[in-house]
Structure 1
Amino acid sequence: MASDAAVVTVRLVRSFEHRNFRPVVFHGVSVEQTVQEFIQLVRHDIATRPGLPPPFKKYAYDTMKIIHQAHGAKTNELVMSLEDDEKLILQEGLTLRAAGIANETEVAFFRKEDYGLYKANPHTAW
């Protein structure tokens, strides 16, 4: 595998409260592309991916945050950590490499408004 190609798992977060998410694996992701280009690639892929339920395909995802990197510690949160937003939320002007994405990185893809509401009142519903 080339040094600029990575396997990235994208966790589509539909609901923080209900812990409703689906992981989708992307192979051969160029870490030299911008965060915005990757977001567009993921949006296009999930809209046409077979086997993914319609609520996940049509959701208004707009933000990505690093959840876990290979050989690193994992959070105890089931959906994603609520800490370190400044360094873990991907900034659109950066390349994936500059944003901290490497091979076997897992990122969450979610709606920023939902995340803000959940972070202000982090409770779960069953």
Structure 2
Amino acid sequence: IMADAVVTVRLVRSFEKRNFRPVVFREVQLDQSVRDFMQRVRDDIVTRAGLPPPFRKYDYDTMKIIHQAHGAKTNELVMSTEDDEQLILQEDQSLRAAGVAHETEVAFFKKEDYGLYKANPTTSW
């Protein structure tokens, strides 16, 4: 078992406008809590080079698995709205217990935005 995983975090700024940026995190400890990993991501993106300011200061509060390594990718543009019960990470779980493994991709977004998008899943250009 690898101690450190590579996890891609898709920062979702707007579901409607399909405005997101993938950010790769290396040396992710899968036994840390989801809450701790979210904080690491928030701390990191504030100073990460090449990330536009709107992405740095956003109020991200929820993570959801988009796809696993060697799993089927969804053809949703930002992320699937299916299987939230299984795929939304619970803050008090470890990443591993929540289903995150090496090369997993997760979306990081504001739950309120996602709820509005799910209620009316349209994209604007």
Which bin holds the TM-score, normalised by the shorter protein?
over 0.9
After TM superposition, where is structure 1 displaced by more than 6 Å over at least 4 residues in a row? none
**1:1-126 paired onto structure 2 within 5 Å:** 3-126=2-125
Provide the rounded CA distance (Å) in 1 between the counterparts of 2:61 and 2:84: 15
TM-score normalised by the chain length of structure 1? 0.97
Residue ranges of structure 2 left out of the alignment (5+ in a row): none
Residue ranges of structure 1 left out of the alignment (5+ in a row): none
1:11 CA displacement: 0.1
Provide the rounded CA distance (Å) in 2 between the counterparts of 1:119 and 1:99: 22
1:4 CA displacement: 2.3
Provide the rounded CA distance (Å) in 2 between the counterparts of 1:51 and 1:92: 28
1:51 CA displacement: 1.2
RMSD: 0.7
Q: Alpha-carbon deviations, 1:52-102, whole Å to 9, x = none?
A: 100000110000000010110111101000000001000011000000000
TM-score normalised by the chain length of structure 2? 0.98
State the percentage of identical aligned residues: 76
Provide the rounded CA distance (Å) in 1 between the counterparts of 2:57 and 2:122: 25
Figure out how many residues of one structure are paired with residues of the other and give that number: 125
Report the secondary structure of 1:119's partner residue. Answer: helix
